[in-house]
Amino acid sequence: MLVASVLGVRQFPSASADETYDAVIANGRVVDPESGLDSVRTVAIRDGKIAAISSAPLTGTATIDARGLVVAPGFIDLHEHGQDPRNYQFQARDGVTTSLELEAGTDDVEKWYALREGKSLINFGVSIGHIPVRMKVLGDPKGGLLPTGEAAHRPATAEELTKLSQEIDRGFRQGALAEGMGVNYTPGATHWEIVEMFKVAAKYGASVHVHLRYGGLKEPNTGLAALEEVLAAAAATGAPLHVVHITSMGLKYTPELIAMIEGAQHHGLDVTTECYPYTAGSTALQSAIFDPGWQENMGITFKDIQWAATGERLTADTFEKYRKQGGIVVIHSIPEEAARAAVSNPIVMIASDGMPITGPKVHPRGQATFSRVLGHYVREEKALDLMTALRKMTLMPAQRLEKRAPVFKNKGRIQVGVDADITIFDPARIIDKATYDDPLQPSEGISFVLVHGVLVVKDGQLVQGVFPGRATRAPISQ
Ligand SMILES: [Zn+2]
């Protein structure tokens, strides 16, 4: 024991056939992307943690028969705007055990966590968000997720810039996991404001999750130019950078954006990225993304935009009408080759960018991203292998956050001692069922999902009345 400790070997109680665990998951194909384990094992759970992994039989008060099924770490979604009970139900059925809102974030970290504590099906977490903080400090019409007035279009004064930094700092002291930014939605923010916001994150070793300033095809407003801005901010301040939904920013230049990020990694910058497996984006029609010039920027026109409340494609007339009214649209702008390039690339994490359920035709990504990658891109298209796909949705997101929030050292893995957040699925059957026309359909082929050892999905169905989800939060320092 002493020798092992000195050598730095983690000590775990060895599995014993005499012990009775709270639950065992028997005979499944256990996949752990960190150790590379991909073999039939029995996993035992005690007190919400994985207590043993054995090739011999183990005994539990409850037994899950996982024969023929994959036993994987629960999926960690870095980017999910739908943070309500109904969204969590769809996410659990898509294999997600930890749902994080890190792009938009919140302006009140304390309140955000308090609202969900003890009431959540799955684990949850949030960033301190530059967008909502800017809406508060610069003043913006209330009620929306995104700014439409001064907070979108006006540069901050020197006093406001100080106030923005103070508010972001306060969010970190309250345990925000990261900093969120959406420069595309706040084009009034100067390049220097971006650097100032990165400086605060650097102080806490926290990653900045950025929706880039442009998602355009036309120089000088391309995704490449926008990526240069935040790579420079990361290099100049030392803050880790995470670029969200690389495909909707890069469009046909997605491979070039990924190559830039790969190059920056090779040269020592802490920068990562993510994608969702779809050829459409989604956002609010009243936001700055649809300021004049959007057709040329994104290479699309009215008919490529779908109104989420009804599913209708827009015209010049309905565009004007709905932009005044405000609401969510689905934007068919991403080439299939871009989606495939990102989904299959081993450095690009999977994250849904799921939307709150505001209408019958919301984007399907919040309900089905993970099963779509595993069913469509892994099994049907063979665009990537199972281990790589699971790594992109479990270990990599955990590693992105674990320096800032040590709770993630115990997630994204199937190892003795980690949290029993586990997703068990049939690799031959898993598939997304949510579509643009019928997006509120739960995924299929996910048999069991456990959060802290508690079943939230059993035999493919939601378990009612359980709330094992916990806050994932960085240390509080106020
Ligand atoms: Zn975004």
pLDDT band at residue 40 using 50, 70 and 90 as cut-offs: very high
CA of 431 to the centre of ligand 1 (A): 25
pLDDT tens per residue, range 148-173: 889 999 999 999 999 999 999 999 99
* pLDDT > 90 in the chain, percent: 91
What's the pLDDT at 15?
A: 59
The pair of three-digit structure tokens given for residue 66, joined into one six-digit string: 């996982």
Q: How far apart are CA 314 and CA 335, in angstroms?
A: 20
Positive or negative: CA dihedral 271, 277, 280, 286: negative
Q: How far apart are CA 246 and CA 331, in angstroms?
A: 15
Q: Which of 141-155, 175-189, 405-419 has the lowest mean pLDDT?
A: 141-155
Beta bridge partners of 96: 75
CA of 250 to the centre of ligand 1 (A): 12
CA of 88 to the centre of ligand 1 (A): 20
CA of 303 to the centre of ligand 1 (A): 21
Q: Is the pLDDT of residue 349 over 60?
A: yes
CA of 214 to the centre of ligand 1 (A): 11
Q: Is the pLDDT of residue 12 over 90?
A: no
pLDDT band at residue 14 using 50, 70 and 90 as cut-offs: low
Residue among 360, 350, 476 nearest 423 (CA): 350
CA of 67 to the centre of ligand 1 (A): 39
pLDDT tens per residue, range 131-154: 999 999 999 876 678 898 899 999
Pairing of strands 70-73, 75-77: unpaired
CA of 75 to the centre of ligand 1 (A): 20
pLDDT band at residue 78 using 50, 70 and 90 as cut-offs: very high
CA of 95 to the centre of ligand 1 (A): 22
CA of 64 to the centre of ligand 1 (A): 38
Q: How far apart are CA 407 and CA 422, in angstroms?
A: 16
The pair of three-digit structure tokens given for residue 458, joined into one six-digit string: 């059993």
pLDDT tens per residue, range 19-33: 999 999 999 999 999
Q: What is the 3-state secondary structure (H, E, C) of 28-58?
A: EEEEECCCCEEEEEEEEEECCEEEEEECCCC
**Are 345 and 258 in contact, with CB atoms under 8 Å apart?**
yes
CA of 141 to the centre of ligand 1 (A): 20
pLDDT band at residue 462 using 50, 70 and 90 as cut-offs: very high
**Are 197 and 137 in contact, with CB atoms under 8 Å apart?**
no
**Are 99 and 91 in contact, with CB atoms under 8 Å apart?**
yes
pLDDT band at residue 18 using 50, 70 and 90 as cut-offs: confident
CA of 292 to the centre of ligand 1 (A): 19
CA of 101 to the centre of ligand 1 (A): 11
Q: Which of 206-210, 229-233, 355-359 has the lowest mean pLDDT?
A: 355-359
CA of 466 to the centre of ligand 1 (A): 31
CA of 209 to the centre of ligand 1 (A): 10
Q: How far apart are CA 429 and CA 131, in angstroms?
A: 40
Q: Look up residue 80 and give its amino acid.
A: E
pLDDT tens per residue, range 367-388: 999 999 999 999 999 999 999 9
Q: Look up residue 42 and give its amino acid.
A: T
Torsion-angle region of residue 112: left (phi > 0), alpha (psi -120 to 50) or beta?
Answer: alpha
CA of 131 to the centre of ligand 1 (A): 11
**Are 156 and 117 in contact, with CB atoms under 8 Å apart?**
no
**Are 418 and 48 in contact, with CB atoms under 8 Å apart?**
no
CA of 96 to the centre of ligand 1 (A): 20
